[in-house]
A and B are shown apart, each in its own frame.
Chain A
Amino acid sequence: MRLHPYPEVAQRRRKVLKHVFDHRERWWEIFGDLSSWHEEYTVLRGLGCIAEGWERAAGDASGEGVLDANHARWLGAAETACDEALAAQRVYPSDAGRTCYIGHDGVTVYTSDAQHLATCFRPSQCVGSRRSASEVTQRADARGRRRSGIAQRAAVRRASRRTSLASDGNSAFEGSEP
């Protein structure tokens, strides 16, 4: 499924930094190249982006390059997740008429009408992680992609619960199961 990305580059970079480089989301499991993820994380951390935001990469070719290249991967992963969600019927109504799609690896995509990307993330995982990125990557090397089951379960129960609570009384959620 083709998605319309954010029109503004600043928003693309902000979201990529927020999600792809949040080690709780473990995007190296999706992109399949742990060492590259860690190298790029190190570039952004060196620029101060991890602590202070993507703006610290503004004007820096390497920093902007990392963010923009990862935006392309992130958007691609979002589109793949939508296709997987449609095939596996992991599609949920959400607030303000939006739709939530959950891919095999827990990649969670929210779209507004006309397939405009609202956001894309993996569920925040606190199971068996370590705070420092280097430790995270070391541990993830050994565990590989099997953790995607944990991510998918987390994404499904959180989306399902949000929908369920909304139907209990949160009028912000309207619509029906697609």
Chain B
Amino acid sequence: MTGTGADLLRQQLLAAKTELERGEGEALEVAMLAGMLARTSPSDDVIIGLALEIDDADLAEAVDLAADGVMRIDEDDDPAESWDALSSLDEVCAAAAWLGTPDVVAPAVTHVVQVVRAFPHAWRAHAGAATSLLQSQAPLSTDPANRVWAAIEASQWHGDEVDEGTDIPWRVRERLGLSLVVELAPFLRKQTLLAATEALPEEPPWRSIARESGWELAITTDIHGLAILLLSGESSAAFEHEGVAQAVTSSHDGLVCAARPGAWRVVVGSSEINFRVST
């Protein structure tokens, strides 16, 4: 957290404490602020010696409310709204961890994490912020909020930006310097059909290699069962195999090039996909 962020929390904590001492404040708000400040400044003067009595039932009620707010978020909601819901839950978790009662909030957090994983689209907008937060303002190790932010961070890997058959989107692989290797063997194997499905059209094996808005590059088989690279959704592209330009044919499914073992480079618009086909 930046110095300004810690300063703001310290100011707010002092104001909330003053209100509490006047009998007007809320102890849980003080605990939330203390918990958040403790994440980056555990020995801050304002929280040293601070003692609060908060009933577990109040904490459980607060986390239920916060968790319910997170679970009411859907894809149509504004990112500012989903951020607010997340923040509300995070603050209750910070309070629970600081009070030494993280177990009180853990069940609600577990439920939220399951929902975020099941419906990641609504949370993708915050994946980058979650990464920054886990790096710079990480919750205490006992804080259940760690699991929430990890699920938010992981939300970017789910859904239609994930290549089927691979764990990591190709753009991320590229940025991380990870090589992409596609095995040819599954596309050469004779497919076994159950007798009951013989009359149905056979689905060719398919593995997405790269995908952007509007196009997808995949390895699959043609009607003769031969392994091919298929670029759908784009009418022009350059295919190179071991540094040699390859001829492509146009089909109703897209641009087709015979898939052979070796190093490939495919250029689609401004995107360049490098991968290896192995036997």
Per-residue interface assignment for chain B, residues 130 to 148, with 1 indicating a CB less than 8 Å from any chain A CB and 0 otherwise: 0111011100000000000
**Which residue from chain A places its CB closest to the CB of B77 in the assembled complex?**
A18
**Cβ contacts under 8 Å, B32 to chain A:** 127
B8 to nearest A CB, angstroms? Answer: 6
A151–B171 alpha-carbon span in the complex (Å):
41
**Cβ contacts under 8 Å, A42 to chain B:** none
Interface stretch, picked from A30-38, A73-81, A160-168, is A160-168
Interface residues of B in 221-264 (CB under 8 A from A): none
**Which residue from chain B places its CB closest to the CB of A169 in the assembled complex?**
B132
Tell which of A94, A118, A126, A170 touches B62, judged by Cβ atoms closer than 8 Å.
Answer: A126
Q: Is the CB of B128 within 8 A of A110?
A: no
A82–B83 alpha-carbon span in the complex (Å):
20
Interface stretch, picked from A54-62, A64-72, A128-136, is A128-136
Residue among A110, A130, A150 facing the most chain B CB atoms (10 A cut-off): A150
A127 to nearest B CB, angstroms? Answer: 5
Q: Is the CB of A110 within 8 A of B62?
A: no
Q: Is A156 close to B, CB under 8 A? A: yes
**Cβ contacts under 8 Å, B21 to chain A:** none
A53–B12 alpha-carbon span in the complex (Å):
36
A48 to nearest B CB, angstroms? Answer: 16
Q: Which residues of A are at the interface with B, using a C-beta cutoff of 8 A? A: 14, 18, 22, 24, 94-95, 100, 108, 110, 118-119, 121, 123-131, 146, 149-150, 153-154, 156-158, 160-162, 164-166, 168-172
A-B contact list, 7 entries, CB within 8 Å: A18-B81, A124-B85, A131-B64, A146-B19, A154-B88, A157-B36, A162-B80
